[in-house]
Amino acid sequence: METFMCTLCGVAVSSSFGEGWLKEFRVIYAQPPSWGDVKLSGVCSAGETGEYDIHGVGVIVARCPRDAGKRYDDQDLDPDSKIMVKLGPDAPKSFQNIAPSVSCCGFAFHAACWDLLAKIGHIDISVLFGVCFSMPIVDAGIIQWGHNYGGAARPQHFSTPSQPHGSRWAGFMPEELFSHIKSSLFRSDPMNIPDLHYLTRCAVRFEPPAYPWPSRQTARDVFYRLPVEILQAILPTLSSPDVASLRSASRVVACLDLPESFWASRFQDGYEYAHIFETSLQRPRSWKALYMFTRILERQSHALQNRARVWELGLKLKKLHDQVEGVSCQGLPLASKFEPDCIADDREWVVASDGLLENTSDNWYYLRGGCRGLRIREIQLPTPMEFSHLAVSFTVVDNRKFVSGLQFVTPGGEYESLGYIASFKQTITLPSTASMSGLHLALSKSGIKAIAVELDNRTLSPWAGEPKTYPRWRLSTPAGAYVKAEFDAMRLLSLGLEVKAEVPGKDRCFWKSDVPAPGILCDPPIDGGSFRRPDALSRPLLEAAIFRPATLVGVAAYLSDLNAVAGIEFMHTDSTHDSLLGQRMPLERRPYSPNLYPPHGEDHASSISVDGPGGERITEIRIEENMDGPLKIEVRI
């Protein structure tokens, strides 16, 4: 059965179940090229004939009331007022030929989940649309937020060249949900919980505990010195587990009668029952009674458990949204996917990026790795290149920190901003005695992770961000050069420098561990040369192995049983100078390419000794290769 999943709760939008709420949905949508004009549709039903069509795996078109105030079952709904929205980010190229009349694309939410999201706080649907657009989405139409939708999605493992051990979350199809052990939880309406309406009206009164107030013997308890009113003011600021711990540790706190204000605080933002939003509509007669009964109800009520699950997912989505709400993308806009009417980009650039996909491929739609660029910005570096510091902004997506924007600040306090300048910043302070000569970037497939400044005295600043072992790219920054950056709705994905003069080969490619230090001659092929591959996700890294002829004592090659060379190592008298290209033994098995290093093959090493200290020198290294890479390496001394 084909179906599609709710963007928020990860459960199928379907009429296959008896529960009416599961079939009702809304979409947030845009009609290209007006990507910035995002709208909310009226309520549609997956149960109505012709309400949605399937066009192959994962390509679903919904017919929705254009007006957000309308429902599919309104008597006066004009059928001609419906719009056709392809669910998901944009449309795969292969689909656009089949149904060119479908002019909108968007993301679906159960109508109930949308209402629940609105209870959490204000949502700017343009920001939400961009955030959804920026995330990977797989065949079953489930957005990869990095969580398992509170148990509503199952893990699915896969291998691709860019992610040899990748995994993602797949939505349960309706037939799986029927049999799934937790199905009644996921199928329970999180918005409509009649028991809660009853509880808020409950008038049961709880008497204060009959514990005697502690005597002076407890004077060693520091809380004894505080007036009761102060204690009663402190407790509502603590989480319930902390209050329970404190009551275990302090007899004074244990004997304290917790006031209504304490019990009421448990239903506020940040506490365990913030999702019981009914209290904002009807103040309960007793907060304590409501708290006690809610604790009982939450163990029994699947609807309340589902409410808590979807609320938690909504908080996560809101957190992503809030990072960029009201934050404009700074710099001069150039024509891009989201902003096609801006100035055309007609400069020549060298661009540092990993995983940024061309939007002409279906890979761009079925994003299993890599990222989609939505906006492009340009700035010009000043002449002379004097900065007091570089402020690097970050956003956190899927619990990982990404660079979102840059601010180049001059000694006079003027600055040039590029991208999303968020409140979360790290500053690289530059010495007044040196000026910036380049930028080093640490690149992941999902965006730029860290940045460091290279100075004209050949030193590198500390990194801002999390460079870890991500591939590096160096860009030299001549004064007055234009800088181009591409973004999704939250992250910096690529950084380009205008090509004014010949760009050093070292600046045109990835380096696996680090960019070779200044002064090391290195001339990789321009534009990747024979390394160039069409798919941005399988671009190779360049590695540099530096050997010191005077202390070289051996060269080893590591080979698979097919005699494919997997690694070459230069060994020195001081092993800390040893330098490796590729892999050491045992060789890593790559599931996506079983033929390269078969699982049962016998790897072996072959080495020669070199008497570097005695004056022996390498005169030539020959490589024989076929399409898969090097087969044979010969070293002459």
d(CA 230, CA 298): 32
User: In the complex with Zn ion, which residue's Cβ is closer, 9 or 581?
Assistant: 9
Q: Which stretch binds Zn ion (CB under 5 A): 109-117, 321-329, 410-418, 421-429?
A: 109-117
Query: What minimum distance in Å lies between the beta carbon of 194 and Zn ion?
Result: 20
Nearer to Zn ion, 113 or 367 (CB): 113
Shorter beta-carbon distance to Zn ion: residue 107 or 223? 107
User: Least distance (Å) from Zn ion to the CB of residue 6?
Assistant: 3
Residues 134 and 7 sit within 8 Å (Cβ to Cβ)? no
The distance of closest approach from Cβ of residue 335 to Zn ion in the complex, given in angstroms and rounded to an integer, is: 36
Q: Kindly indicate which of the ranges 107-115, 298-306, 321-329, 628-636 contains the residues binding Zn ion, using the contact rule CB under 5 A.
A: 107-115
Determine if 22 is a binding residue for Zn ion (CB under 5 A): no
Interacting stretch for Zn ion, rule CB under 5 A, among 95-103, 106-114, 363-371, 471-479? 106-114
How many Å separate Cα 316 from the centre of its chain? 12
| Beta carbon of residue 455, minimum distance to Zn ion (angstroms, whole number) | 52
Q: Identify the helix (H) or strand (E) that includes residue 556.
A: strand 552-559
- Could you give the CA distance from residue 470 to residue 450 in angstroms, rounded to a whole number? 9
Minimum CB separation of residue 188 from Zn ion in Å reads: 12
Name every residue whose Cβ is closer than 8 Å to that of residue 251 and which is 6 or more positions away in sequence.
214, 218, 221
Burial string for 551-579 (b: 16+ CB within 10 Å, else e) reads ebbbbbbbbbeeebbbbbbbbbeeeeebb
Please report, for residues 412, 430, 438, 450, 506, the alpha-carbon distance to residue 387 in angstroms, rounded to integers and kept in the order given: 9, 7, 12, 19, 24
For the CB of residue 21, give the shortest distance to Zn ion in the complex, in Å.
9
**Contact range with Zn ion by CB under 5 A, out of 105-113, 145-153, 339-347, 416-424:** 105-113
CA neighbours within 13 Å on the CB side: how many for 207? 3
Q: Which stretch binds Zn ion (CB under 5 A): 102-110, 156-164, 201-209, 371-379?
A: 102-110
Tell me the C-alpha distance between 200 and 198, whole Å: 6
581 binds Zn ion per the rule CB under 5 A: no
Structure tokens at 106: 């968007």
Residue of closest CB approach to Zn ion = 6
Minimum CB separation of residue 606 from Zn ion in Å reads 59
What is the footprint of Zn ion within residues 165-224 (CB under 5 A)?
A: none
> Which is closer to Zn ion, CB of 174 or CB of 447?
174
Burial of 378 (0-12, 13-18, 19+ CB in 10 A): buried
Nearest CB to Zn ion, comparing residues 24 and 498? 24
Shortest distance, position 114 Cβ to Zn ion, whole Å: 8
Q: Which of 6, 104, 264, 392 binds Zn ion (CB under 5 A)?
A: 6
Measured from the CB atom, the residue of 150 and 612 that comes closer to Zn ion is 150
- Contact range with Zn ion by CB under 5 A, out of 19-27, 66-74, 103-111, 217-225: 103-111
Within 10 A of 233 (CB to CB), how many other CB atoms are there? 14
Q: Are 246 and 238 in contact (CB under 8 A)?
A: yes
113 binds Zn ion (CB under 5 A): yes
The terminus-to-terminus CA distance of the chain in angstroms comes to 67
- Residue 47 or 478: the one with the smaller Cβ distance to Zn ion is 47
Q: Does residue 43 belong to the site contacting Zn ion (CB under 5 A)?
A: no
Alpha-helix residue ranges (DSSP H) falling in 22-153? 93-96, 111-120, 125-133
Residue 511 DSSP symbol: B
Of 313 and 490, the one with the shorter C-beta distance to Zn ion is 313
* SS3 (DSSP) at 623: strand
Question: Would you say 29 or 338 has its CB closer to Zn ion?
Answer: 29
**Sole binder of Zn ion in the list 39, 70, 110, 539 (CB under 5 A):** 110
SS3 at position 558: strand
Q: Does 9 bind Zn ion (CB under 5 A)?
A: yes
Q: Based on CB atoms, which residue is closest to Zn ion, 23 or 484?
A: 23
DSSP state of 421: -
As a residue count, the chain comes to 637
Shortest distance in whole angstroms from residue 312 CB to Zn ion = 13
- Whether the CB-CB separation of 437 and 457 falls below 8 Å is answered with no
Pick the stretch among 6-14, 32-40, 204-212, 583-591 that binds Zn ion (CB under 5 A).
6-14
Q: Which residues contact 503 (CB under 8 A, 6 or more apart)?
A: 350, 476, 497
Only one of the segments 8-16, 246-254, 507-515, 583-591 lies at the binding site for Zn ion (rule: CB under 5 A); that segment is 8-16
Residue 537 sits at the vertex; the CA angle it makes with 535 and 540, to the nearest 5 degrees, is: 90
CB closer to Zn ion out of 19 and 195: 19
Nearest-approach distance from CB 513 to Zn ion, in angstroms: 44
Minimum distance from residue 10 beta carbon to Zn ion (Å): 7
Q: Which is nearer to Zn ion, 24 or 454 (CB)?
A: 24
Strands (E), 50-103: 52-54, 60-65, 82-87
Minimum distance between the CB of residue 71 and Zn ion, rounded to whole angstroms?
17
Query: Whole-angstrom Cα distance, residue 341 to residue 318?
Result: 30
Q: How far is CA 184 from CA 178, 192, 302, in A?
A: 8, 15, 7
In the complex, the smallest distance separating the C-beta of residue 9 from Zn ion, rounded to whole angstroms, is: 3
CB nearer to Zn ion: pick between 82 and 110: 110
With respect to Zn ion, which residue has the nearer C-beta, 113 or 552?
113
Q: How many residues bind Zn ion (CB under 5 A)?
A: 4
Contacting positions for Zn ion (CB under 5 A): 6, 9, 110, 113
